């Protein structure tokens, strides 16, 4: 075969490649249009019956030299690419997805000065649960000394056993509010049910939806209607995608001020209560414009590793951390093993002061 012949055959291939390229993109555009029609009709984009009909028609018309198996494998790849394109378009439309590199939700608290997500490292702290005025007052005094502005005022506790401490209810909120006012702090408190919104609104500055309620879509929609910002914790076994869709419920129902909390996920590991998904924090920072806080207490279930986790949290590019602090942890009514002693909280604040925060940059 001469060199000329080879060149000639290669240029034929080049032309065919371009034709296939044009046809593939034309096919993708039409498939997208089908997706839009199906969305309007309320039907799903993926139709296995239609896919199987197309493959049969291709087999019947296949004159070779490719075998039917090869043709089917190639076309299945084309179908998969169209599906992926649809999914990407659907995701890009969700409100909590970051659209541009500098898109950030910054949440301003009622004093008009305290912000979450503005580049500062926010500390949310306080005991696991409100137990008494003295307990809240002693804790808040220590937190205020370190400039903490957001106080946990938890009065409804989602305990595993119904025989464990369930929280003080409204009297606990009165205590939390009084103490927060004394130290110029804001209260965040976990809500269990939409029926509590009106009562809790008299006391709380930030609503809090716990891990167990992350997929309670009715509560999430109700949180879309409140004027306060909402902290949303990742579910015990929720994927990041499920977590973001939960946040989407709140935002799409009218409340853009959502703060995400990574609190560890269930894995086979038993040395820690949960496994802190720090990789997930980095992914959320890239994928969403919402602020993200790392809960170093429930993810660990133990206080002895609080400082390294706090340092990792800050270095990860998160917008802050959440840590439980109690004046006398061994006698705490809940989470006694993980709450920090006050002196440990002070050491933690000093340790994170030495960590420098950098905006995470995706690898090129
Ligand atoms: C909490 O932070 O108060 C709590 C109950 O944690 P989680 O919902 O993550 O279990
Ligand atoms: Mn707790």
Give the pLDDT confidence of 199-236 residue by residue, as tens digits.
Answer: 999 999 999 999 999 999 999 999 999 999 999 999 99
CA 106 to chain centre: 16
Ligand 1 midpoint to CA 35 (Å): 40
Element (H, E) at 208: strand 206-209
What is the predicted pLDDT for the residue at 243? 98
Ligand 1 midpoint to CA 205 (Å): 18
- CA separation (Å) from 102 to 121, 229, 285? 18, 21, 11
- Alpha-carbon span 16 to 238, nearest angstrom: 46
What is the predicted pLDDT for the residue at 363? 63
The strand pairing partners of 173, in sequence order, are none
What is the predicted pLDDT for the residue at 358? 63
The residue ranges of every structural domain in the chain are 3-91, 107-353
Q: Is 227 helix (H, G, I), strand (E, B) or coil?
A: coil
CATH number of the structural domain 107-353: 3.20.20.70
Element (H, E) at 150: strand 150-152
What is the predicted pLDDT for the residue at 55? 96
CATH number of the structural domain 3-91: 1.20.59.10
In this prediction the pTM is 0.83
In terms of C-beta density within 10 A (0-12 exposed, 13-18 middle, 19 or more buried), how is residue 77 classed?
exposed
What is the predicted pLDDT for the residue at 364? 64
In terms of C-beta density within 10 A (0-12 exposed, 13-18 middle, 19 or more buried), how is residue 198 classed?
exposed
Mutate to test the pocket of ligand 1, among 153, 298, 335 (most ligand atoms within 8 A of CB): 298
Alpha helices in the chain (DSSP H): 3-41, 48-61, 68-92, 133-145, 170-183, 197-201, 217-223, 240-252, 278-287, 306-315, 342-353
Mutate to test the pocket of ligand 1, among 160, 167, 233 (most ligand atoms within 8 A of CB): 233
Q: Count CA atoms within 13 Å of residue 126 on its CB side.
A: 31
Segments in the chain below pLDDT 70: 1, 357-364
What is the predicted pLDDT for the residue at 85? 87
State both tokens at 47: 């139709």
What is the predicted pLDDT for the residue at 352? 98
State both tokens at 337: 């093993």
């Amino acid at each position: 075969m001469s060199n000329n012949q080879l060149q000639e055959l290669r240029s034929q291939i080049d032309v065919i490649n371009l034709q296939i390229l044009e046809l593939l993109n034309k096919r993708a555009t039409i498939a997208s249009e089908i997706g839009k029609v199906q969305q309007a009709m309320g039907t799903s984009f993926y139709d296995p019956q239609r896919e199987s009909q197309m493959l049969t028609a291709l087999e019947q018309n296949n004159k070779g030299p490719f075998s039917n198996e090869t043709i089917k494998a190639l076309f299945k790849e084309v179908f998969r690419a169209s599906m992926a394109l649809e999914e990407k378009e659907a995701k890009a439309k969700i409100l909590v997805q970051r659209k541009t590199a500098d898109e950030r939700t910054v949440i301003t608290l009622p004093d008009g000065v305290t912000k979450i997500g503005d580049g500062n490292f926010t500390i949310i702290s306080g005991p696991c649960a409100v137990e008494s005025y003295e307990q809240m007052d002693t804790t808040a005094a220590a937190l205020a000394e370190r400039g903490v502005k957001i106080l946990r005022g938890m009065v409804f506790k989602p305990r595993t056993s119904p025989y464990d401490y369930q929280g003080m209810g409204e009297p606990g909120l009165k205590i939390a509010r009084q103490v927060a006012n004394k130290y110029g702090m804001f209260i965040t408190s976990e809500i269990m049910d939409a029926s509590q919104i009106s009562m809790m609104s008299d006391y709380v500055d930030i609503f809090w939806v716990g891990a167990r309620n992350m997929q309670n879509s009715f509560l999430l929609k109700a949180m879309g209607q409140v004027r306060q910002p909402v902290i949303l914790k990742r579910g015990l076994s929720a994927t990041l995608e499920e977590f973001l869709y939960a946040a989407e419920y709140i935002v799409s129902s009218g409340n853009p001020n959502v703060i995400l909390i990574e609190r560890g996920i269930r894995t086979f590991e038993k040395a820690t209560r949960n496994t802190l998904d720090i990789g997930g924090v980095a992914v959320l920072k890239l994928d969403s414009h919402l602020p993200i806080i790392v809960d170093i207490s429930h993810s660990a279930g133990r206080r002895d590793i609080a400082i390294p986790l706090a340092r990792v949290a800050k270095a990860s590019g998160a917008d802050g951390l959440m840590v439980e602090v109690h004046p006398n942890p061994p006698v705490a009514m809940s989470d006694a093993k993980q709450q920090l002693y006050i002196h440990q909280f002070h050491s933690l604040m000093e340790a994170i002061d030495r960590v420098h925060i950098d905006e995470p940059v995706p690898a090129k």
